[in-house]
């Protein structure tokens, strides 16, 4: 499922450059994740980079965007045409 950034976000910006899909951007008050680009890091990393680097645990799985690993991998392939997903990440 896609991740979302909760109100805990202090807008430090640490997560933005870590996202392999450029899914994170600065919103009006806090940073935001585009659920159409988030693959939960499937295809790139073993776990969610944004959650790992965040100092306040703001990125959380979004229950409104539940998706299978297959769907997340299909999204990754769309976002990275011509590339192969990293082994062990899907």
Q: For binding to ligand SF4 (CB under 6 A), which residues are involved? A: 3, 5, 9-15, 18-21, 23-24, 31, 33, 38-41, 48-50, 53-54, 56, 58-59
Residues 6+ apart with CB under 8 A from 87: none
**Cα(82)–Cα(11) distance, integer angstroms:** 33
CB of 44 to ligand SF4, least distance (A): 7
CB of 14 to ligand SF4, least distance (A): 4
Nearer to ligand SF4 among residue 50 and residue 67 (C-beta): 50
Compute φ and ψ for 51, nearest 5 degrees: -65, -35
Q: Give residue for tokens 């703001």.
A: 58
């Amino acid at each position: 499922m896609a991740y979302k950034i909760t109100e805990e976000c202090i807008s430090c910006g640490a997560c933005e450059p870590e996202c392999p899909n450029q899914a994170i951007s600065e919103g009006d008050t806090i940073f935001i994740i585009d659920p159409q680009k988030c693959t939960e890091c499937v295809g790139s990393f073993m776990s969610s980079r944004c959650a790992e680097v965040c100092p306040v645990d703001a990125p959380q799985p979004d229950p409104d965007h539940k998706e299978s690993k297959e769907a997340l991998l299909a999204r990754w392939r769309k976002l990275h045409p011509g590339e192969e997903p990293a082994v062990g990440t899907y």
